[in-house]
Amino acid sequence: MASTRITIFDTTLRDGEQSPGCSMNVHEKVRLARQLDRLGVDVIEAGFPIASDGDFAAVQAVAAAVPRPIIAGLARAARHDIERAAQALEAAVRPRIHVFLATSDIHLQHKLRISRQQCLDQAAQSVRLARTFCDDVEFSPEDATRTDPEFLFQVLEAVIQAGARTLNIPDTVGYTVPLEFGELIRNIRERVRGVEQATISTHCHNDLGLAVANSLVAVANGARQVECTINGIGERAGNASLEEIVMALRVRSDRYPFETSIATEELYPTSQMLEEITGIPVQPNKAIIGRNAFAHEAGIHQDGMLKNRLTYEIMTPQSVGVPDSKLVLGKHSGRHALSLRCEQLGYHFERRELDEIYRRFVVLADEIKHVHDHHLLELIRQTYGDSRRIPPGRVASGAAASAVAAGAEDASRKPSPGTPVDFSVVGLTSIPTSDHLSEQEDYLWGV
Ligand code: KIV
Ligand code: ZN
C-alpha cells in the first residue's frame, strides 16, 4: 500500500526571517529558494508582501525564479494585504495566498479589539476575497492552541465554506503539549464540517522545545502538511525544524508510515547555506545538521563505531548530506581511536607503547580540552622521537587517505564563529586490527 504523503511547507524565508538577525535581502532569498527547490520542499513561503517593499520584491523574485514548488505569500485578513500578496505572486506558476487572523480571546480582546462575531465575518470575507485572486488559499487562525476549541471549529467551518483549501493550525506561542495538540487535530478532523475538502496543517513554535514533537503528533492524528524551517529558525525560540521532522519520519517510518518529497542528502548543504547567509551559527549539538550530530568522543562509543556504526548511529551521515562521521579525540576517547589516528598520521605503536602515548594524551586532553593533530604529533615526538614512523612505502593508502579526508571533512563542516573545531579527528575509512586480543579484552583495552 502506498504511504501517505506529507506536504512540507517551508517558511524559512518568512517566519524564519522573523528571527532576530536573520533578515535576508532579495538576492539571498532567491539563492536560498533555489536550494529549497533542490531540497524538494512542496511549498515555499517566500515572505509577507505587505510588510515592506523588500519583502514584496523578494516574493516577486522567488515566484519568478522557482517554478516547481507552490510559492506562498502571507497576508493579514485585510483587503490591502491580500491584494498586495496577489500582486507579488503574479509570476508564480503555483501561487498560494496565506491569510491569517487571530482567534484566541487574548488576541481578540487585547490586540485586535474585535468580537468573536467580527472575527468570524472577517475571516470568511478575507478568504473569499483571496479566492478571487487565486484557487489555492490557506487560512491560519493565529494562536489556535489558546483559542476556545468550539469557536475555533466555527471559524474553520466558515473559512472552508469561503474556499480555504488548507487549514493551518498554528501553535503561535509554543504553548501546547503533544497529547493536547494531537487531540485538537483529531477533533478538527472528526468534528469540523467540510474538513474533508481541506488539508489540515500545523505550524508549531518552539518556546517549550516541543515544536517537532507537536508537529509529529499532529501528523499521527491527521495533519497532512507541516510548516517548518531550516535550522528551526523563526520568531523567538523558532519553528519546528524541517530537518528533524523529515528525518524523524524517515528513520521511524515503522511508527510514521508517511512519505515526504525531501531529498534528504540536501539537508546539510541547505543548513550550511542558511548559516552562511544569515551568519547565525547552528548550535553544535543540533540534531541532524549540528557539528556534533555525527561526532563521537567517548572511548566506549568510538570503540563501538569502529566495530560497527550501527552501535551508535541511527542514520548515516551521508543520508543527510554530511560527508562522514568523525571520532573526536578528547579526554574521554580510548586507545582504539587514538591508535587509528596515530596510524593515519604515519606512526605505528605496539600495545605497550600506545599505552604510554595514551596516558600522556589523557593528561594533555584534560589540560587543554581541544587536542589538535599538531599537539598529538608533538606528544609522539617527545615520547618516541621519529623512531615509530611508518616508512612511507608502508603507510596504507587507506590510512593516508582517511587522514586527509579527516581534514577535508572538518573544512566542509564549517566552524561556528568563535568555536574551535579543528580537534584531532579520526577518519573512519580504515579500521585497525587487534586480532592478538580476545574480543572482551580488546574492548576493555580499547576504550
Ligand atoms: O505563528 C503564527 O501564528 C504564524 C502565522 C502567521 C501562521 O506565523
Ligand atoms: Zn509562526
> Do 323 and 268 contact (CB within 8 A), yes or no?
no
Ligand 1 close to Cβ of residue 73 (< 6 A): no
- Look up cell 519546528; give the residue: 240
Q: Distance (Å, rounded) from C-alpha 233 to C-alpha 284?
A: 15
In terms of domains, do 266 and 307 share one? no
55 pLDDT above the threshold of 90 = yes
pLDDT digits (tens, 9 = 90+) for 391-407: 876 654 433 323 222 33
What's the mean pLDDT in 107-128?
98
- pLDDT tens-digit readout, 275-295: 999 999 999 999 999 999 999
**In testing the pocket of ligand 1, which one of 9, 43, 140 has its CB within 8 Å of the most ligand atoms?**
140
Question: 137 lies in a domain?
Answer: yes
Nearest residue by C-alpha to atom 2 in ligand 1? 172
How far, in Å, is the centroid of ligand 1 from the Cα of 176? Answer: 14
Record the cell numbers describing residue 259, joined without a space: 512519505
pLDDT the model gives residue 447: 77
> 132 with 28, same domain?
yes
| Ligand 1 midpoint to CA 170 (Å) | 6
CA 388 – ligand 2 centroid, Å: 60
**What is the distance in A from the centroid of ligand 1 to the CA of 29?**
20
Q: Which of 212, 243, 278 is the last residue of a domain?
A: 278
User: DSSP characters for 310-344?
Assistant: GGT-SS-GGGGT----EEE-STT--HHHHHHHHHH
Q: What is the pLDDT of residue 436?
A: 53
Given a cut of 60, is residue 435 above it in pLDDT? no
Q: How confident is the model at residue 2 (pLDDT cuts 50, 70, 90)?
A: low
| Whether residue 139 has its Cβ less than 6 Å from ligand 1 | no
Whether residues 226 and 308 fall in one domain: no
Q: Which amino acid is at 291?
A: R
Q: What angle do CA 81, 136, 121 make, to 5 degrees?
A: 55
Of 337 and 404, the one with more pLDDT: 337
Q: Tens of pLDDT along 118-129?
A: 999 999 999 999
- Does residue 203 have its Cβ closer than 6 Å to ligand 1? yes
Domain count, the chain: 2
User: Based on the domain organization, do 88 and 198 belong to the same domain?
Assistant: yes
139 is in which domain, residue-wise? 4-278
The alpha carbon of 74 and the centre of ligand 1 are apart by a number of angstroms equal to 9
Q: Which three cell numbers stand for residue 213?
A: 514533537
Ligand 1 atom index nearest CA of 227 = 7
Cβ 228 vs Cβ 215: under 8 Å: yes
Per cent of the chain over pLDDT 90 is: 86
Question: Ligand 1 within 6 A of 172 CB?
Answer: yes
Q: What spacing in Å lies between the alpha carbon of 203 and ligand 2's midpoint?
A: 6
The secondary structure element, H or E, covering residue 8 is strand 7-10
Residue of 410 and 20 predicted with greater confidence:
20
Q: Which pLDDT score, from 0 to 100, does residue 399 have?
A: 37
Of 372, 297, 375, give the one whose Cα is nearest residue 336.
297
Q: Is residue 285 part of a domain?
A: no
Of residues 18, 29, 16, the one with CA closest to residue 65: 29
State the pTM of this model. 0.90
Residues 265 and 303 in one domain: no
Cβ count within 10 A of residue 437: 13
Tell me if 290 is assigned to some domain. no
**CB of 15 closer than 6 angstroms to any ligand 1 atom:** yes
The verdict on the CB of residue 100 being under 6 Å from ligand 1 is yes
Q: How far apart are CA 216 and CA 174, in angstroms?
A: 14
Q: Is the CB of 349 under 6 A from ligand 1?
A: no
> In this predicted model, which residue has the larger pLDDT, 178 or 426?
178
- Ligand 1 pocket check for 9: Cβ under 6 Å: no
Residue 116 has pLDDT above 80, yes or no: yes
Does residue 294's CB lie within 6 angstroms of at least one atom of ligand 1? no
Dist. CA 16–CA 96, nearest whole Å: 18
Which range (133-137, 409-413, 431-435) has the least confidence?
A: 409-413
Can you tell me the mean pLDDT for 246-272?
98
113 within domain boundaries: yes
What average pLDDT does this structure show over 238-244?
Answer: 98
> Quick one: 241 and 270 in the same domain?
yes
Same-domain pairing of 256 and 395: no
Q: Is residue 289 part of a domain?
A: no
Measured CA to CA, the distance from residue 309 to residue 166 in angstroms comes to 42
| 293 CA to centre of ligand 2 in angstroms | 26
Ligand 1 centroid to 206 CA: how many Å?
Answer: 12
Q: Are the beta carbons of 24 and 277 closer than 8 angstroms?
A: yes
Q: Quick one: which H or E segment has residue 59?
A: helix 53-65
**For residue 78, is pLDDT > 80?**
yes
> Which of these three, 278, 310, 329, is where a domain ends?
278
Q: Do 107 and 71 form a contact (C-beta atoms < 8 A)?
A: no
Of the chain, the end-to-end C-alpha distance in Å amounts to 46
Q: Answer whether residue 249 shows pLDDT above 90.
A: yes
Question: What is the reported pLDDT for 323?
Answer: 94
CA dihedral 146, 148, 151, 157 (to 10 degrees): 60
Atom of ligand 1 nearest to the CA of 239: 1
Judge whether 284 lies within some domain: no
For strand 425-426 and strand 326-328, is the pairing parallel, antiparallel, or unpaired? antiparallel
Residue nearest to atom 8 of ligand 1 (CA): 15
Report the C-alpha gap between 78 and 66 in whole angstroms.
Answer: 27
3-class DSSP state for residue 49? Answer: coil
- pLDDT higher than threshold 60 for residue 422: no
pLDDT tens sequence across 124-154: 999 999 999 999 999 999 999 999 999 999 9
Q: Which 8-state DSSP code applies to residue 283? A: P
Of the three residues 225, 250, 278, the one that is the final residue of a domain is: 278
CATH number of the structural domain spanning residue 119: 3.20.20.70
CA of 15 to the centre of ligand 2 (A): 5
Instruction: Ligand 1 pocket test: pick from 13, 43, 203 the residue with the most ligand atoms within 8 Å of its Cβ.
Output: 203
Domain-located, residue 176 = yes
Q: What is the pLDDT of residue 54?
A: 96
170 lines ligand 1 (CB under 6 A): yes
Q: Are residues 71 and 194 in the same domain?
A: yes
Q: Are residues 175 and 304 in the same domain?
A: no
> Does residue 172 fall inside a structural domain?
yes
Same structural domain, 112 and 236 = yes
**Pocket lining: 81 vs ligand 1, CB cutoff 6 Å:** no
Same domain, 9 and 109: yes
In the reported structure, the alpha carbon of residue 27 is separated from the centroid of ligand 2 by a whole-number distance in angstroms of 23
Pocket lining: 142 vs ligand 1, CB cutoff 6 Å = yes
pLDDT computed for residue 16 by the predictor: 97
Nearest ligand, measured from the Cα of 239:
2
Span 204-231, average pLDDT? 98
Q: Can you list the positions of beta strands (E) in 116-265?
A: 137-142, 166-171, 199-204, 225-228, 258-259
pLDDT at position 417 is: 39
Which residues, chain by chain, have CB under 5 Å from ion ligand 2? 15
| Arithmetic mean of pLDDT, 15-20 | 94
Q: Residue 425 has what pLDDT?
A: 83
Same domain flag for 240 and 310: no
Instruction: Answer left, alpha or beta for residue 223, where phi above 0 means left and psi between -120 and 50 means alpha.
Output: beta
